[in-house]
Amino acid sequence: MESPSPQTQQQPKRAAVIGSNMAMAESTGDLAEMEADELPIKTATTATASSKGVQVNGVNGIYGGLDGEKERPNGKEDGARNSEANGSGLTQRKPKEASTLKAKDNDYPPLYDDDDLERRRLDRLNTYRAAGIQFAPWNIPYRRRMQTVAVLIHCLSIASTVSFFFFLCAIPIFWPLIIPYLLHMLLSKNATDGRLRMRSERWRRLPVWKLFGEYFPAKLHKTHDLPPTRKYIFGYHPHGIISHGAFAAFATEALGFAEKFPGITNSLLTLDSNFRIPLYRDYILAFGIQSVSKESITNMLTKGGPNNEGMGRAVTIVVGGARESLEAQPGVMNLVLADRKGFVKMAIRTGADLVPVLAFGENDLYDQLSPKTHPWLHKAQMWVLRTLKFTLPFLHGRGIFNYDVGLMPYRRRLNIVVGRPIMVAQKRDGEIENEEVDRLHREYVGELEKMWERYKDVFAAGRRGEMNILK
């Protein structure tokens, strides 16, 4: 019998090496074609070493490379960056043991993230990099350009409306109109009376807001039915830097709120000071946005509806507020909620059911300086918050024509999950007991924890930690 030649012996090994290299090249090629500020949520690649019969699993999290290697989404060291205590990007964490809190399958149905990478491909060969900044190529599809314009319009809404107002003030012919307008702005109750006179469904359904939702992209997930015979207080978590997800889901029809929850009129709430900004107040009133004051919430949930008692109405409160915006870091979920019980009291006072809302990806839209690495800056921000009732996050995102510098949010997925409603019995102020407030608050936090445990591996696969409830 003839012994096999050396070339014949090397053929199986060479075939195994080629097969392994092709599997690795295929997985890394997908990441190399993505935008620098787009983070894949879940991508799994399996390569089989034929020569040894060993299976090697490489899982790509937010920044996870093959076989657990740390890798940027664009395959380069200076791609999309996420802030951390030491200034580095997110890294793929090893799976942790399951938490003691388990969410039952019958409590929350399974939800899936649309891993639509084909629509978000980018020709990496045409990108231009200068001074460490990666610029967008010119051959991006027209619709993606329009998505950027839609987000830019909303981001510049305050600056553009105020600038236009002062431009009108410089023209004497408009003075007879400006003075009555300012008096109307100071005396108007449109933001607190709950009548929603300036709310425009046509404005909320404009195609530009559909483009706004597609930019990230954002998606609204329904887990339970909400009957229109009740009234609701939606608690939105986390605040993030600017709460783009809350705007897309509850101030517009970009994500299809009316189709998912028919018969419910929902209004996003914001600070009363926003209604003292000329022209900008009219811009947000057209969305049906109202003041977050007690008077406004009471009027919204006790008036209107089929029986003029507020049935079928809802308000959305970003519970964490400006304080929580300072905790917004990519890959983390820190909620300022432990001492926030005012919204629970308002629910008892108005008889509105509590609906927890968890927005996966809201904290990933911007980078900001970490309070751990800049404690003196954090103290200054807290002083401004206590004194002036607003805060100034030191943030950055992407630009209009680049992926690294600017105030535009990153193109990162937003998955907004609406949880199970918690029924609340209406009581008057003198009948509200602290024990009942604490019980409802604990139940509300428990629902948020169930939602986190149920969907964290679907929508937050590349997280840097678990959800934390802060004071």
pLDDT tens for the 471 residues of the chain, in order? 444 444 444 444 444 444 444 444 344 444 333 444 444 334 333 333 333 333 433 333 333 333 333 333 444 444 444 444 444 344 444 444 433 444 455 678 888 666 554 445 444 445 566 657 888 888 889 999 999 999 999 999 999 999 999 999 999 999 999 999 999 999 999 999 999 999 999 999 999 999 999 999 999 999 999 999 999 999 999 999 999 999 999 999 999 999 999 999 999 999 999 999 999 999 999 999 999 999 999 999 999 888 888 999 999 999 999 999 999 999 999 999 999 999 999 999 999 999 999 999 999 999 998 878 888 888 898 898 888 878 888 888 999 988 888 999 999 999 999 999 999 999 988 889 999 999 999 999 999 999 999 999 999 999 999 999 998
Bridge partner list, 313: 265
Compute the distance between CA of residue 382 and CA of residue 193 in angstroms, rounded to an integer.
32
**The pLDDT value given to residue 184:** 95
Beta strand pairing call for 265-270 and 313-318? parallel
Q: Please, are residues 458 and 112 in contact by the beta-carbon 8 Å criterion?
A: yes
Per DSSP, the three-state class of 101 is coil
CA proximity to 208, closest of 260, 160, 147: 147
**The pLDDT value given to residue 378:** 85
Domains present along the chain, CATH in parentheses: 141-470 (3.40.1130)
Task: Please name the residues in contact with 323: beta carbons below 8 A apart, sequence gap of 6 or more.
Answer: 336, 385, 391
CA proximity to 462, closest of 124, 32, 1, 93: 93
Q: Please, are residues 73 and 319 in contact by the beta-carbon 8 Å criterion?
A: no
pTM: 0.75
Provide DSSP, 131-192: TTEEEPPTT--HHHHHHHHHHHHHHTHHHHHHHHHHHHHTSGGGHHHHHHHHHHHHH--TTT
The tokens of 136 are what? 């967008």
**The pLDDT value given to residue 128:** 60
**The pLDDT value given to residue 19:** 46
